[in-house]
Structure 1
């Protein structure tokens, strides 16, 4: 299993357009990028590859990192920074299976799968495959499990991706607070690599209108507002899941420059072989 981090940024990415903060300026000077979220997972046994989320930066990411076009994709939720790159299949793919959760979101009255089908009905190559959360499905030779997480007000999912032959396991928290349900934690547990949402350092909760949540024993918030983990929350989740290795993703440019590029914060283009 070869994992390439195509996009490790939040909804605006780093550097952010029009921003001259120290972090964005340093990213420009050093040629470092965190484009909108997307992960490429290649099965070197079968010669197939799976894409997790369609970043709006899809075209640029694939040209930059020179990874193979995916044979299938999974959409974790319908926020634009995870979905709107799907239009790039036009005149690029002959066919593409797109897997997404089949449970109805009370907020929209549709499942993620139905939203993808309806919003991209004009794209003939797309074959939407409604998928039941917490039930593994075989995709590109991997056992892939969508796991419910907490990203209000919309339903959102993390992923466990396992190679049934080698035992390699990749877990993605998805966009979530620290309040990941227990059954989802069980599905995500013991990964060789965990990609965990860590939008900002915990001390930034003082700037959020609703503050922070899920304080640890030290009183440090593990959730920023209601829908993303803090850095400290993501690291606590990694400990909870007993991850062998952790990379923090979905990172905002609000990280101070002296922390923004420190371990274990990821940047685009990182690759891991599991």
Structure 2
């Protein structure tokens, strides 16, 4: 299993368009990027590739990293930075199976699968497969399981991807607060690599209108507002899941410049062989 981090940034990416903050300027100086979130997973046994989420930066990401176009895809939720790159497959692919959760979202009245089908009805090449969370499905030779996480007000899912032949395992927290259900944590546990949402460091919760939530015993917030984990929360989750290796993703340019490129914060283009 070869994992390529195509996009490791949040909804605006780093550098952010029109921003001259110290972090964005440092990213420009170093020639590094955190584009909108997407992960490419190649099965070297079958020669197939799975894409998790469709970044609006799809075209640039695939040209830059020179990885194979996906044979199938998983969509974790319907926010634009995870979905709106799907239109890029028009006249690029002949067919694409897309797996997305079949649970109805009380907020939208549709499942993620239904939203993908409706919003991209013009893409006849899509084969949308409604998928039941917590039930593994075989995709590209991998056992793939969607797990509910906490990203209000919309439903959202993390993903566990396992190679049944080698035992290699990749877990993605998805966009989530620290309040991930125990049943989902069980599925995500013991990965060789964990990609965990860590939008900002905990000390920046003071600047969020809602502050921080899910404080640990030392009073450190593990959730920023309501939707995303802090760096500290993501690292505590990694410990609880017994992750062999952790990379923090979905990172905002609000990280102070002297913290923004410290380990284990990821940047685009990183590759891992599991």
TM-score band by shorter chain is: over 0.9
| 1:127 lines up with 2:127 in the alignment | yes
Residue 49 of structure 2 aligns to a residue whose secondary structure is: strand
Deviation at 1:126? 0.5
Secondary structure at 1:247's aligned position in 2? strand
Tell me the CA shift for residue 46 of structure 1. Answer: 0.2
Deviation of 1:268 (Å): 0.1
* Offset of residue 108 of structure 1: 0.1
2:188 aligned residue: 188
Identify the residue that residue 42 of structure 1 maps to in structure 2: 42
After superposition, give the CA deviation of every residue in 1:202-237 in whole Å (9 maximum; x if it has no partner).
011111111100001111000000010000000000
Measure the CA separation in 2 of the matches of 1:90 and 1:201. Answer: 38
Residue 246 (structure 1) shift: 0.1
Deviations 1:58-77 (A, max 9, x none): 00000000000000000000
Residue in structure 2 matched with residue 13 of structure 1 by the alignment: 13
Q: Which residue of 2 aligns with 1:141?
A: 141
Q: Which residue number in structure 2 is paired with residue 249 of structure 1?
A: 249
Q: Displacement, 1:132?
A: 0.1
Deviation of the 1:175 alpha carbon: 0.1
2:214 aligned residue: 214
Alignment of 1:1-274 (within 5 A): 1-274=1-274
Query: SS at 1:204's partner residue?
Result: helix
Gaps of 5+ in 2: none
Structure 2 SS opposite 1:25: helix
In 1, distance between residues paired with 2:91 and 2:217? 53
Aligned-residue offset at 1:144: 0.1
Structure 1 residue 199 displacement after superposition: 0.1
TM-score norm. by structure 2 comes to: 1.00
The two structures, once aligned, show a CA RMSD in angstroms of: 0.3
Unaligned runs of 5+ in 1: none
Q: How many residues align?
A: 274
Q: Quote the Cα distance in structure 2 between the aligned partners of 1:57 and 1:125.
A: 20
Distance 2:89 2:77 in 1: 18
1:112-145 CA-to-partner distances (Å, cap 9, x unmatched) read 0000000000001100000000000000000000
SS at match of 2:12: coil
Question: In 1, distance between residues paired with 2:74 and 2:250?
Answer: 17
* Poorly superposed stretches of 4+, deviation over 4 Å: none
After TM superposition, the score normalised by the length of structure 1 is 1.00
In the TM superposition, what is the alpha-carbon distance from 1:266 to its structure 2 partner? 0.1
SS at match of 2:258: helix
